[in-house]
Amino acid sequence: MRFVGVYLALSAAFAAGVVNPAAAASVENGKTAFVKNGCWQCHGFEGQGSVTTSAGRVIADTQLPADAFAAYVRKPTGAMPPFSATVLSDSDLADIYAYLEARPKPQAAKDIPLLNQ
């Protein structure tokens, strides 16, 4: 489980104030992997999801830590199909997490006039 190893190492470094884990992984490659592996199909290109496929829990601005995120992708418990390491490498998975972490945070709905009609 290369990804978990990488994550643990990065987490330790992050805790020590050495490195930002999102910066260590490649956001750009994460975007490519996110599209190539079909994540966008259910989750949208920005991880915004849909009511059908995400049941209201979206992966943009995810609160899941990286290891929990990776564990779910490998062995999902809901409707999501599993992504094995054969299909999606650990490094690509780490990059996908970085890509999602790099998504711009949404504005507050109250500040968007069209959502207050």
Partner 1 sequence: MPKKDASLKLNRRKFLTAAAVAGASGAVSPASPATAATAAEPQQKLPSALPPNARVAAAEAGVPDVPPYAGEGRPGSDFMVDVIKTLDIKYLPANPASSYRAIHESLINYGKNTMPEFLTCTHEEVGVGIAHGYYKIANKPLMTLCHGTVGLMHATMNIYDAFCDRAPVIVLAGNDMDAAHRSPGVPTVHSAQDINAIVRDYTKWDDTPVSAQHFAQSFVRAYQIATTPPYAPVVISLDDGLATEPVRDYGQKLYIPKFVPTAAPAGEQGAVREAARLLVNAEHPVIVADRAVNTEKGIALLVQLAELLQAPVVRQRGRLNIPNTHYLSRPATVIPQADVILGLELTDYWDTVNKFVDNNAEGVGTNSSRIKPDTKLISISTLQLMTKSNYQEFQRFQSVDVPIAGDVEATLPSLIEAVKYALTDDRKNVAAQRGQAIRKDHDKGRDGTRQAAAIAWDASPISTARLCAEIYGQIKDLDWSLVPSSGDVSGWPLRLWPMDKHYHWTGTSGGYGVGWGCPASVGGALANRDEGRFSVSIQSDGDLMYVPGALWTAARHKIPMLAVMHNNRGYHQEVMHVQRLSNFRNRVANNGNDLGPIGTSIMNPDIEYHKLAESMGWWAKGPIKDPAELGPALKEAVAVVKSGQPALVNVWTQPR
Q: Which residues bind partner 1 (CB under 8 A)?
A: 35-38, 40-42, 44-53, 56, 58, 60-61, 76, 78-84, 86-87, 103-104, 106-110, 112, 114-117
Cβ proximity to partner 1: between 22 and 59 the closer is: 59
| Helix (H) / strand (E) containing 5 | helix 2-15
CB of 42 to partner 1, least distance (A): 6
Separation between Cα atoms, residue 117 and residue 107, nearest integer Å: 16
Cβ proximity to partner 1: between 22 and 43 the closer is: 43
Q: Which amino acid is at 77?
A: T
What Rg value do the Cα atoms of the chain yield, rounded?
15
